[in-house]
């Protein structure tokens, strides 16, 4: 028996990362390579595996701690042969989003591709294809369409009746349809001060739900039409791998996914797994219609007076915005020390100042420890720094504490595809899994779980399967909270630059100097750009204000192109626009902006 410290291994370019999940506790018996904690930077989350097998004696880190290479995570009592350390643990999954670009000379893969695996399934097939895509979310449909455009015979398998996955059906699109309505209602409510009054709004939830359904239907219907145009065969049902070349699909019907009993087997030469993720459900929350995840919240089943949002991330705050505008008072509980983790605090502060009136309680460094369904509501208990003394009663509780990948639900092991303890599928920079002809993309391969990341990964996977020399080597992936005001950021944040000791030069343009923002009566925001103090190249940027999400793409392009402050400042932006604020932030960094007071000479 010996006591061994298990430490954070080399985690690449990150100086410090936050512990967002602790997967073991003192007294647990653990295996070598078993995941111990999940850490998250702004770009990726990864699980840190154990170097040793044995019994956990003491945990040295807790949720929310910041760790770096060498930090001791826990001590383990390692026994006998098990005391031998695993050679060099690798954090998994190394999210493809931040995988460093690797050379892939001559159109080959980014790393030596393993030998093809053998088929073990002896039965026949009902359908054969060049490319099977499992899951029709933004990742899946984009992969299927790109593969078809590249000349492949494609089968797309989806368990629900409509294409588009979480994003189109119960995510990005319906939430934005509702957020738009909420933003207009909020805007109009301020018009009285400008001499225009409409009176108190009358909300008809049935019509609002119908509007949301129409928006979703227009997009999902469009996808079906495009699948037909590309001759992509869509098969409805629940897919499970039976070996590395066959998938069995059990037909499903209705919204509850009843099984009809009809099965078919699809034989494929290549496959792309795009089975996505689902909302994490806290085990102690009661099964009750007043406890919902984001999908339930989007149904707008009623008009709650008091609503609790569990988790202060983007999804919870977006849905909270909608419900609050429709009349709910909000509480939010978050285990970490701030809302909207990942964004610079100065951006979040502007949002928080404007949105504080929506909330009765913002409970940081606090967690929910129990809940009970009562006749009058859901009674919730809290623990932590800002926990109320008494349990609180809510008409609606929204669980928005993260999403877990579906990797363990698709029979991946039968295809020989490696899946991490938490259900992520590790991939290389070309989106290949450990099985050379099977790729994985989207939420199922790692953070950030965003539709635009899934789409780009999808194109790479389809192109690589078609023999093209493609790789996912995006420098940055933008993030947006579509709250009011919107908060958008991309690349290095100021907090990260500080933590990593990178000298930056900042251009901060306050919207109080933007003619358009003032004309819109929305000048609370700002645009900031961060440049490398030595090279002057842009490293990151953040925008808070109306339409911030529509503008952040320009900053992402500037980072991808290696632009400097002169490139951006000298690019003529149209006047008067909010987009102009990006050019002006660059001019401020360069010292040439004439729309703000002169810099005082020392
Ligand atoms: P998914 O969209 O999850 O699609 C996976 C598909 O696979 C699903 O249709 C599922 O039914 C199907 N499937 C799974 N297993 C099987 C099986 N065994 N057989 C058959 N079919 C299967 N992202 C943004 O970028 N911007 C936003 O504004 C945004 N807003 C969001 C708001 C909410 C409320 C939520 C919940 C998410 C939001 N997201 C947003 C995240 C975004 O929806 C996801 O990142 C995106 O949908 C991931 O795409 P995907 O293709 O990987 O998986």
Residue 488 Cβ contacting ligand 1 at under 6 Å: no
With residue 265 as reference, give the H or E element that holds it. Answer: strand 258-273
Specify the ligand 1 atom closest to the Cα of 237.
20
Q: Is the pLDDT of residue 241 over 70?
A: yes
The DSSP letter of residue 96 is G
- Which residue is closest in CA terms to ligand 1's atom 37? 171
Non-local (6+) Cβ contacts of 231 within 8 A are 148, 154
Q: Which two tokens stand for residue 372?
A: 């009970």
Chain-centre distance for alpha carbon 135: 17
Per the model's pLDDT, the better-predicted residue between 265 and 89 turns out to be 265
Q: What band does 550 get if pLDDT is binned at 50, 70 and 90? A: very high
**pLDDT at residue number 43:** 52
Non-local (6+) Cβ contacts of 200 within 8 A are none
* CA atoms of 503 and 269, how far apart (whole Å): 50
Q: Model confidence over 390-418: pLDDT tens digits?
A: 999 999 999 999 999 999 999 999 999 99
Residue 522 Ramachandran class (φ > 0 left, ψ -120 to 50 alpha, else beta): beta
Kindly give the residue spans of alpha helices, DSSP state H, lying in 312-374: 314-325, 345-355
Give the percent of the chain with pLDDT over 90: 81
Pocket test for ligand 1, best of 263, 276, 412 (most atoms within 8 A of CB): 276
Active-site residue, 459 included: no
Maximum separation of any 2 CA atoms in the chain, in Å: 82
In terms of residues, how long is the chain? 602
Q: Is the pLDDT of residue 153 over 60?
A: yes
Give the best-scoring range by mean pLDDT among 29-33, 63-67, 159-163.
159-163
* CA atoms of 16 and 38, how far apart (whole Å): 13
Pocket test for ligand 1, best of 96, 134, 137 (most atoms within 8 A of CB): 137
**pLDDT at residue number 31:** 84
Q: How many CA atoms lie within 13 A of 236 on its CB side?
A: 15
Bond preceding residue 12 cis, omega within 30 of 0? no
Q: Residue 218 CB: number of other CB atoms within 10 A?
A: 11
Q: How far is the CA of 465 from the centre of ligand 1 (A)?
A: 22
Residue 160 Cβ contacting ligand 1 at under 6 Å: yes
Q: Residue 109 CB: number of other CB atoms within 10 A?
A: 17
Q: Is the pLDDT of residue 373 over 50?
A: yes
Q: Model confidence over 103-137: pLDDT tens digits?
A: 332 333 344 445 568 888 989 999 999 999 999 99
Annotated binding-site positions:
176, 239, 311-318, 334, 402, 443, 449-452
Specify the ligand 1 atom closest to the Cα of 249.
19
Using CA atoms, how far residue 94 sits from 97, 100, 147, 223, 475, in Å, is 8, 10, 25, 31, 15
**pLDDT at residue number 98:** 30
The three-class DSSP label of residue 197 is coil
Q: Which of 430, 425, 403 is nearest to 412 (CA)?
A: 425
Q: Which of 211, 437, 459, 575 is catalytic?
A: 575
Non-local (6+) Cβ contacts of 321 within 8 A are 179, 182, 355, 358, 483, 484
Q: Please, what is the average pLDDT of the chain? A: 91
Q: How far is the CA of 217 from the centre of ligand 1 (A)?
A: 16
With residue 287 as reference, give the H or E element that holds it. Answer: none
* CA atoms of 188 and 182, how far apart (whole Å): 10
**pLDDT at residue number 84:** 42
Q: Is the pLDDT of residue 81 over 70?
A: no
**pLDDT at residue number 554:** 98
Q: Is the pLDDT of residue 102 over 60?
A: no
Q: Which of 424, 427, 411, 465 is nearest to 121 (CA)?
A: 411
Specify the ligand 1 atom closest to the Cα of 409.
18
**pLDDT at residue number 113:** 47
Q: Is the pLDDT of residue 85 over 90?
A: no
* CA atoms of 150 and 209, how far apart (whole Å): 39
Q: How far is the CA of 167 from the centre of ligand 1 (A)?
A: 5
Check: CB of residue 251 under 8 Å from CB of residue 263: yes
Residue 59 Cβ contacting ligand 1 at under 6 Å: no
Give the percent of the chain with pLDDT over 70: 92
Q: Is the pLDDT of residue 300 over 90?
A: yes
Q: Model confidence over 178-216: pLDDT tens digits?
A: 999 999 999 999 999 999 999 899 999 999 999 999 999
Q: Is the pLDDT of residue 80 over 80?
A: no
Residue 400 Cβ contacting ligand 1 at under 6 Å: no
Computed on alpha carbons and rounded to an integer, the radius of gyration of the chain in Å comes to 25
Q: Is the pLDDT of residue 1 over 60?
A: yes
Specify the ligand 1 atom closest to the Cα of 410.
18
Q: What band does 446 get if pLDDT is binned at 50, 70 and 90? A: very high
Average pLDDT over residues 228-240: 98
Angle between helices 548-561 and 580-590 (to 10 degrees): 50
**pLDDT at residue number 79:** 65
Q: Is the pLDDT of residue 142 over 90?
A: yes
Check: CB of residue 39 under 8 Å from CB of residue 85: no
Q: How far is the CA of 277 from the centre of ligand 1 (A)?
A: 6
Q: Is the pLDDT of residue 265 over 90?
A: yes
Residue 406 Cβ contacting ligand 1 at under 6 Å: yes
- Sign for the pseudo-dihedral over CA of 282, 285, 288, 293: negative
Non-local (6+) Cβ contacts of 460 within 8 A are 430, 431, 441, 470, 471, 472
Q: How far is the CA of 171 from the centre of ligand 1 (A)?
A: 7
Q: How far is the CA of 21 from the centre of ligand 1 (A)?
A: 22
User: In the beta sheet, which residues pair with residue 377?
Assistant: 374
Bond preceding residue 576 cis, omega within 30 of 0? yes
Average pLDDT over residues 155-163: 98
Q: Which of 53, 14, 17 is nearest to 36 (CA)?
A: 53
Q: Which two tokens stand for residue 253?
A: 């019907």
Q: Model confidence over 10-63: pLDDT tens digits?
A: 776 667 788 877 888 888 888 877 889 887 765 556 778 888 888 999 999 987
User: In the beta sheet, which residues pair with residue 252?
Assistant: 259
**pLDDT at residue number 14:** 65
67 — phi, psi (to 5°)?
-130, 160
């Amino acid at each position: 028996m010996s006591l061994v410290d298990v430490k954070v291994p080399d985690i690449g370019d990150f100086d410090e990362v936050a512990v967002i999940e602790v997967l073991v506790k003192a007294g647990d018996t653990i295996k070598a390579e078993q995941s111990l904690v999940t850490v998250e930077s702004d770009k990726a989350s990864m699980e840190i595996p154990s170097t040793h097998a044995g019994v956990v004696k003491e945990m040295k880190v807790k949720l929310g701690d910041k760790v770096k290479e060498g930090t001791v995570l826990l001590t383990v009592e390692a026994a006998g042969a098990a005391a031998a350390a695993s050679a060099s643990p690798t954090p998994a999954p190394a999210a493809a989003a931040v995988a460093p670009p690797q050379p892939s000379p001559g159109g080959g893969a980014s790393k030596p591709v393993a030998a093809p695996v053998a088929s073990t399934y002896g039965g026949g097939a009902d359908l054969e294809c060049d490319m099977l895509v499992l899951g029709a979310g933004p990742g899946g449909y984009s992969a299927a369409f790109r593969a078809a455009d590249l000349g492949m015979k494609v089968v797309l398998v989806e368990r629900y009746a409509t294409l588009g996955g979480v994003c189109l059906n119960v995510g990005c699109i319906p939430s934005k349809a509702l957020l738009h309505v909420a933003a207009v209602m909020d805007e109009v409510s301020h018009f009285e001060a400008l001499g225009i009054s409409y009176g108190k709004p009358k909300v008809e939830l049935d019509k609002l739900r119908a509007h949301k359904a129409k928006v979703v239907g227009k997009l999902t219907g469009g996808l079906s039409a495009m699948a037909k145009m590309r001759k992509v065969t869509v098969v409805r049902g629940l897919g499970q791998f039976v070996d590395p070349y066959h998938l069995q699909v059990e037909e499903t019907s209705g919204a509850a996914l009843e099984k009809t009993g009809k099965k078919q087997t699809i034989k494929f030469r290549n496959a792309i797994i795009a089975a996505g993720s689902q909302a994490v459900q806290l085990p102690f929350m009661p099964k009750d219609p007043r406890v919902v995840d984001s999908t339930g919240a989007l149904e707008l089943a009623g008009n709650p007076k008091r609503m609790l949002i569990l988790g202060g991330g983007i999804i919870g705050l977006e849905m909270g915005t909608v419900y609050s505008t429709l009349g709910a008072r909000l509480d939010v509980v978050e285990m970490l020390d701030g809302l909207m983790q990942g964004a610079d605090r100065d951006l979040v502060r502007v949002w928080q100042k404007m949105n504080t009136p929506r909330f009765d309680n913002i409970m940081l460094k606090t967690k929910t420890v129990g809940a009970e369904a009562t006749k009058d509501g859901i009674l919730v208990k809290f623990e932590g720094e800002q926990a109320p003394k008494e349990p609180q009663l809510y008409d609606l509780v929204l669980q928005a504490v993260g999403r877990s990948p579906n990797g363990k639900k698709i029979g991946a092991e039968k295809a020989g595809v490696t899946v991490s303890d938490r259900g992520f599928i590790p991939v290389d920079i070309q989106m290949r899994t450990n099985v050379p002809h099977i790729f994985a993309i989207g939420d199922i391969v790692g953070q950030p779980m965003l539709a635009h990341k899934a789409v780009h990964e999808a194109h790479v996977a389809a192109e690589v399967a078609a023999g093209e020399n493609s790789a996912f080597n995006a420098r940055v992936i933008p993030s947006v909270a579509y709250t009011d005001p919107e908060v958008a950021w991309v690349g290095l944040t100021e907090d990260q630059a500080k933590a990593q000791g990178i000298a930056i030069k900042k251009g901060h343009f306050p919207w109080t100097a933007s003619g358009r923002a003032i004309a819109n009566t929305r000048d609370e925001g700002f645009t900031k750009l961060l440049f490398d103090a030595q090279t002057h190249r842009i490293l990151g940027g953040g925008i808070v204000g109306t339409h911030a999400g529509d503008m952040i793409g320009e900053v992402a392009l500037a980072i991808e192109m290696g632009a400097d402050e002169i490139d951006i400042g000298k690019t003529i932006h149209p006047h008067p626009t909010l987009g102009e604020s990006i050019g002006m932030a660059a001019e401020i960094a360069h010292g040439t902006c004439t729309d703000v007071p002169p810099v005082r000479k020392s």
